[in-house]
Chain A
Amino acid sequence: MSKDDARGSISRRDFVRAGATAGLGTTALAGLAGCEAGEAWDLTADVVIAGAGTSGLSAAIEARDSGASVIIVEENYDCGGHGIVSGGRVNLGGGTSRQRRHGIEDSADKVFEYWIRHDNLEARFTDRDLTRVYADLSAETFEWMIENGVVFQDEAIGPDFRNGRTVQWPVYEELITSHPTRLGSGLVRALEKSARTKGADILLLHRMVELVQDPDTRRVTGLVANSEGRTVRVGARRGVILATGGHTSNVAFRRMFDPRLTEEYQTAGEPYTSQNADGELAAMRLGAALWGTASQSMAAGNWISKTEHIGCRWGYSSLWWQPDSPIFDKVRASGLTEVDWQNVILVKQTGVRFHDETASGHDFFAACLSYSGDPDKKNGGGPIWAIFDTDAVRRQGWEPTPPNVDPDGYFFSADTLAELAGVIRNSHQTLRMSGQTLEETVARYNSFVDSGVDEDFGKPTPRYKIQTPPFYAAWSTPILHDSLCGLRVDTRCRVIDLEERVIEGLYAAGEAMGGFPQHGLGRCALFGRVAGRDAARSV
């Protein structure tokens, strides 16, 4: 088979997969014919983007609007990344049409001043040069999203209508989650539709594994992707944009910032999407610097959260997976939800309580992540189990059977507490829970219910004894979320190396980028636009 044949077979199959919304674009065809001399590219485009999430799609639209051809490589079988399973939270202000409609006077300067506040831990660690870019483009990006088909709810999260949510995508079969609504679909599908309509080509099931750098000029000239075992080399005439979505799924990477974050902690968005640090690692191999790392380890913000749905592996807050989700085979269980923490106690893998269960701040998480008692695994806090009885099940109105719970390692029941301790099996449970310890823990807690005072952890008026069989243990280990630091970039989103030099031809945006640790999708779209525009205009 000739080289041209190989290229043709790759592109046809992938483009058919990718073309559901808007058919084939022009870029790939140009790429097939435009392989540059001296480079063994399978495909080429002006701008090549790794990742078809919010920042990648925004970069693609902006690059196409600037006249550049675009190829996106996406490792997943569908677009969206973290954004499509998110709550569609978008933080953009500075004088948007929505703000004006609600009589809010805002400006870029006000946005800037907010996001550099020293008394706000989330803003304290921002790179103020990047913050200025965010402030100046904030309102413009909001209107740009509307122009590209995104529909916003006319409600605000918090003051000043800076923070709001998108409207769920109306095509049911194009949602990843089903109920309750995952509003990020309205953002991502709209951007995807716009990007495809404007001619961006999206190669699904293509995972970037390496960047290609000219050894003489150090300019990044393309990337290498792996598609189901095949290597695909994609050349970028003007630039490569890393929009790979952060690092919190990568245990080795995340532990650079916090050694406690060992493998037992899941990441929100999984199992649909994994934040595996592909972009950061590829760029770091070329000498790229990380930036804003204080944000990732600060005791504030959205990098960790309490399990909202217990007894299942994937219990991130508003991601309440239901059996009609297209990926429920991976999710396996929805979880027992709307937990009133008076109905349960939380214990470590050894069966001991460690904190007031009704709390959820960073003191709570510090206790969750505290030493689990395993001398062979000193870091990480180990699994956290919610222990409750059949009375709690009745009060909560739960049905503790599949698909609500996952008995394959994340939910257990037994007729006595000692027996319950003995049946807990999970790959992250490195110690056997002692039945005697769990009995003693519960007996002591029950006495606090009698006295009305939690002498150990100050839970406000412990309300219910855990006494009536059967007894239950439900996985309730905290969940990681945002990547709040990433690659160092300049105000044009060009990646900077450890010598503070620009790595020509390489850009980063979204959660792969450091310096602006905002929760939500506003920063992803905004800096994606900056990267896409600059790369398209790069010569």
Chain B
Amino acid sequence: MSRGLGRLVHRPTLELLEGPAAEVDAGTAVRFVVRAACSSGCDVGALPLVVEGPGADEVELVPTRQSNACDTRFALRAPAEPGPTSWTVRLPEHGSGGIRHEGAALRVGTEVVPHRTSVAIWQVPSPLVGSAFSVRVGVKCSARCPLGGERVHVLADSGEWLGGGTLGSEPRPGSDGLYEAEVSLLAPQETGVFFRRVRFDGRALGPPHETTEATFSFRALEPPQCAVTVHVEAPALAAPFGGIEVRLGPYRGETDENGVARVEVPKGTHALSLWRIDIEPIAAEVDVTGDTELRIAAAPRRRVDADEERDWM
């Protein structure tokens, strides 16, 4: 507080309680909470803030009086074009009743960036060599932009285009803005593990989006020649026999409610494994020379007392 021109002069302060991060997505709303206070304890709630900068002409100020302060909430939309930007919040000079409140200003800067996008690829099978298969591809925008109708592409390591799909109009159920597409592909003619790249190019979108890529792999399998039928016998299991995963190397099946799974495999030696969370894992090697029936005894998973088996001598 000081005296000037025969009047008491107060110096209010502005404090940013909530504002933009160092980077904000282009065209998105940025929430602000600015606290105005007078060091002499005056009620500054009567002094409306002035906001200057991008989108400020549409700002709606919501002041809330606190004890010895006033918090004003408002939202501004970041510019659609990437680059540095800033806003200025002012408390205008004000005088009444022999007291003059000096003006105060707060400058808030941030970097406006293109929307980041990210990709997920799932339901990737292990296809037979030379066969058609499909994968699910999902794309998400960091600002939850609707991406329905946009294209995703699958490329070989060399960059060769191998397939594409169009994102659905609605987000994946249960997701927070993940748009998905089914992409049909063709497996190579030889066996092995192969990598593919998924690309989403959002540069043409408004506001601009980053291009993103993600990699997935799959194993192309030799065609099967015979069937292995696995009967799981588990009298001690409380749960039904269904849902036990049966693998013969990369070839997979799952038991039905009777505990039976049928897996087609090539002739040869295969690593058999059975898994469900409540049974002891089972692993064995199986020589398959033709259609085969296996009977496997499963036992409930042993519950290990955590206070035991803690010594690694």
In the complex, number of A-B residue pairs with CB atoms less than 8 Å apart:
120
Chain B residues near A446: list those with CB within 8 A. Answer: 124, 216-217
**Among the interface residues A308, A415, A452, which one has the most CB atoms of the partner chain B within 10 A?**
A415
Interface: A189 (CB within 8 A): no
- As a 0/1 sequence over residues 337 to 372 of chain A, the CB contacts with chain B under 8 angstroms (1 = contact) are 010101000000000000000001110000000000
Contact B176 A415 (CB under 8 A): yes
Chain B residues near A395: list those with CB within 8 A. Answer: 276-277
Interface: B311 (CB within 8 A): yes
Minimum Cβ distance to chain A for residue B120 (Å): 5
**Among the interface residues B174, B271, B273, B307, which one has the most CB atoms of the partner chain A within 10 A?**
B307
Minimum Cβ distance to chain B for residue A473 (Å): 15
The residue of chain B having its C-beta at the shortest distance from the C-beta of A398 within the complex is B277
Minimum Cβ distance to chain A for residue B152 (Å): 13
The residue of chain B having its C-beta at the shortest distance from the C-beta of A124 within the complex is B313
Minimum Cβ distance to chain B for residue A378 (Å): 26
Minimum Cβ distance to chain A for residue B308 (Å): 6
* A-facing residues in B160-190 (Cβ within 8 Å): 172, 174-178
**Among the interface residues A342, A361, A418, A450, which one has the most CB atoms of the partner chain B within 10 A?**
A450
Interface: B118 (CB within 8 A): yes
Interface: A468 (CB within 8 A): yes
Chain B residues near A121: list those with CB within 8 A. Answer: 313
Contact A469 B122 (CB under 8 A): yes
Complex CA gap A11/B126 in Å reads: 74
Complex CA gap A450/B127 in Å reads: 11
Chain A residues near B121: list those with CB within 8 A. Answer: 467
Chain A residues near B204: list those with CB within 8 A. Answer: none
Complex CA gap A419/B141 in Å reads: 9
**Which residue of A317, A338, A470 contacts B175 across the interface (Cβ within 8 Å)?**
A470
Contact B271 A416 (CB under 8 A): no
Interface: B237 (CB within 8 A): no
Take A87-B307, A301-B311 as given contacts and tell me if A439 and B214 are in contact as well, using a CB distance cutoff of 8 Å: yes
Interface: B115 (CB within 8 A): no
* B-facing residues in A62-99 (Cβ within 8 Å): 86-87, 89
Complex CA gap A165/B119 in Å reads: 51
Contact A469 B120 (CB under 8 A): yes
Chain A residues near B305: list those with CB within 8 A. Answer: 87, 157, 318
Chain B residues near A519: list those with CB within 8 A. Answer: 310-311
Minimum Cβ distance to chain B for residue A114 (Å): 12
Minimum Cβ distance to chain A for residue B91 (Å): 33
Take A415-B120, A452-B250 as given contacts and tell me if A469 and B178 are in contact as well, using a CB distance cutoff of 8 Å: yes
Contact A450 B172 (CB under 8 A): no
- As a 0/1 sequence over residues 301 to 312 of chain B, the CB contacts with chain A under 8 angstroms (1 = contact) are 000011110111
Chain A residues near B235: list those with CB within 8 A. Answer: none
Complex CA gap A122/B124 in Å reads: 48
Take A467-B124, A470-B174 as given contacts and tell me if A418 and B307 are in contact as well, using a CB distance cutoff of 8 Å: no
- As a 0/1 sequence over residues 382 to 426 of chain A, the CB contacts with chain B under 8 angstroms (1 = contact) are 000000010000011100000000000000000111110000000
Chain B residues near A467: list those with CB within 8 A. Answer: 120-124, 216
Complex CA gap A9/B237 in Å reads: 61
Minimum Cβ distance to chain B for residue A326 (Å): 22
**Which residue of B122, B142, B193 contacts A447 across the interface (Cβ within 8 Å)?**
B193
Contact A415 B175 (CB under 8 A): yes
The residue of chain A having its C-beta at the shortest distance from the C-beta of B174 within the complex is A470
* A-facing residues in B123-168 (Cβ within 8 Å): 123-124, 126, 138, 140, 142
Interface: A231 (CB within 8 A): no
**Which residue of A86, A418, A451 contacts B118 across the interface (Cβ within 8 Å)?**
A418
Minimum Cβ distance to chain A for residue B212 (Å): 8
Interface: A302 (CB within 8 A): yes
Interface: A461 (CB within 8 A): yes
Chain B residues near A318: list those with CB within 8 A. Answer: 305-307
Contact A122 B215 (CB under 8 A): no
Contact B124 A451 (CB under 8 A): no
Interface: A443 (CB within 8 A): yes
Chain B residues near A415: list those with CB within 8 A. Answer: 120, 138, 140, 172, 175-178
Q: What are 11 of the A-B contact pairs (CB < 8 Å)?
A: A300-B312, A302-B310, A362-B312, A415-B172, A415-B178, A443-B214, A446-B124, A446-B216, A450-B217, A469-B175, A470-B174
Across the A-B interface, give the 7 residue pairs with the lowest CB-CB distance, nearest first. A317-B306, A418-B118, A87-B307, A416-B118, A447-B217, A450-B219, A318-B306
Binding site for A on B (CB under 8 A): 116, 118-124, 126, 138, 140, 142, 172, 174-178, 193, 195, 212, 214-219, 249-250, 271, 273, 275-277, 305-308, 310-313
Known contacts A157-B307, A443-B215, A450-B126; 6 further A-B pairs (Cβ under 8 A): A158-B308, A395-B277, A397-B277, A451-B193, A465-B124, A467-B123
